[in-house]
Structure 1
Amino acid sequence: MTENYTDPSGNTAQFRAFVESPDPAAAAQTPSRLPLIAGIGVAVVLVALVAWLAFG
C-alpha cells in the first residue's frame, strides 16, 4: 500500500462521501431485467396452459 492512502472510514463525512459516490463501472455493467421478467411471464403462461389442459 502507498503511504498516502486515505481510509474513507477515517471520519463520518469522508465515509458518507465514499458510500454515496457513484461507481460508473458498476452502473455501466448492470444487466437488464427484461429477460428475467419475460422468462417469468412465459413460465406463468405455460403453467396456466398446462393447468387448463389438465383440468379442462
Structure 2
Amino acid sequence: MPENYTDPSGNTEAFRAFSQTPDAAAPAESPSRLPLIIGAAVVVVVLVALVAWLATS
C-alpha cells in the first residue's frame, strides 16, 4: 500500500468527498418495463380469447 494513501473514513470531509463522487461503473437507470409486460399480458389474453372463440364456433 502506498505511503500517501488516505483512508476516506479517516475524516469527515474526505469521506463526504468520497461518498458523493458519482460511480462511473454504475449503470444508467433504465426505463420501466412495466408497460411492456402489461401490453404483452393483454396480447396473450386477447389471443387466448380469440382461439377459444374460434374453437367454439
Q: Under a length normalisation based on structure 2, what TM-score does the superposition of the two structures give?
A: 0.51
User: What percentage of residue pairs aligned between the two structures are identical?
Assistant: 52
1:41 aligns with 2:38: yes
RMSD: 3.2
Structure 1 unaligned regions, length at least 5:
none
Alignment: residue pair count: 52
Structure 2: runs of 5+ lacking an equivalent:
50-57
Once the two structures are TM-superposed, the CA of residue 12 in structure 1 deviates from its matched residue by 0.8
Q: Are 1:5 and 2:5 counterparts?
A: yes
1:2-26 deviations in Å (ceiling 9; x for gaps): 2211100011111111111122x23
Q: In structure 1, what is the Cα distance between the partners aligned to 2:30 and 2:39?
A: 17
Larger Rg: 2
- Looking at structure 2, the residues matched to 44 and 15 of structure 1 have their Cα atoms a distance apart, in angstroms, of 47
Q: SS in structure 2 opposite 1:7?
A: coil
Match of 2:28 in 1: 30
